[in-house]
Structure 1
Amino acid sequence: MARVTVEDCVDKVPNRFELVLLAARRARSVAAGSMITVDRDNDKNPVVALREIADETIDLDDLKSSLVHSLQRRVEVDEPEEDNMAALMSSSSEWAGVVQEGEPEETFTASEVGATDEAPAENEETEADDPFAAS
């Protein structure tokens, strides 16, 4: 094949927009050092990518999944929910304020937690009153 045209590739990838995305992804990977599967014949990377698609020397499904993965901003990992729930159920329930039977309940006095008996003066603003206070 001396020249590659879009018509040669449309048989393999019917959507022209998808063809452009796949060829661009493959051309970038060739530029990054990926091995080419056709003779270069002094062609540039986009032409080599189109020739590989037309000759079906690369796996289009792998190329599509690579393209989708490169365009994703957030990659979700499939984890079974049962494992997450089991981990949550087995963890200590102290953070939720639940006291299990047989365990002594901890109590604190006001002085232990830093509370004071003084009330703020009427003209004084408290941190809770000021919504713009730096935290």
Structure 2
Amino acid sequence: MARVTVEDCVDKVPNRFELVLLAAHRARSIADGSSVTVPVNADKNPVIALREIAERTIPPEDMRESLIHSIQKNVEVDEPEAVAAPLLPPERRAPVLGRDDQSSDSVVDVMTEEQLLRGLESMTPTEPSANGGPNGGPRERDRDRGR
């Protein structure tokens, strides 16, 4: 059999870039152990993949779906519909904080940005080097050593 060229496959997959992607993906799946649908004839995996595309033993649409599925990072999960799981009646539902009895909610203090900043500044510890530290500043240490 003659070597398969891209020209043999372009009429099956018109976009050459997509053809390369599909053939490369199929060659990788053959290398991973997927069954081959054409005679091997001591050909390498990319040639086998191109021959499968040229002979239409695997539909290009199936190869395209397989490629897309292999690239996807997030798999869509069907959420249950509202009719599948009806809501509990209100008398059987657990109370939701902040949405149940408004009279039992506690009052939240309101603080301005300036008040918050002043409060944070009063909590900030001073650095030891700013006050001379536990051993004093550099001049006091020199004095203690007798210099």
TM-score between the two structures when normalised by the length of structure 2: 0.60
What residue in structure 1 maps to residue 123 of structure 2?
Answer: 124
Q: Is 2:93 the counterpart of 1:65?
A: no
Asked if 1 retains the 8 angstrom alpha-carbon contact of 2:98 and 2:105, the reply is: no
Kindly, what percent of the aligned residue pairs are identical?
A: 58
Change (3 A) 1:96 1:9: farther
Cα distance in 1, alignment partners of residues 15 and 45 from structure 2: 21
| Inter-partner Cα distance in structure 2 for 1:74 and 1:83 | 26
Conserved? CA contact 2:27–2:49, under 8 Å: yes
User: How far apart in 2 are the matches of 1:96 and 1:76?
Assistant: 32
Structure number with larger C-alpha Rg: 2
Deviations 1:35-72 (A, max 9, x none): 10001111000000000000000122221111011112
Show structure 2 runs of 5+ residues with no match. 107-118, 125-147
Q: Do the aligned partners of residues 79 and 27 (structure 1) sit closer, same or farther apart at CA in structure 2, a change above 3 Å counting? A: same
Higher helix share goes to which structure? 2
CA change 1:76–1:61 in 2 (3 A) is: same
- Equivalent residue number for residue 55 of structure 1: 55
What per-residue deviation string (whole Å, max 9, x for no partner) do you get for residues 52-96 of structure 1?
Answer: 000000122221111011112222223355369x56x54945334
1-structure distance, mates of 2:32, 2:122: 68
Unpaired runs of 5+ residues, structure 1, are 109-119, 126-135
1:95 aligns with 2:96: yes
Paired position in structure 2 for 1:16: 16
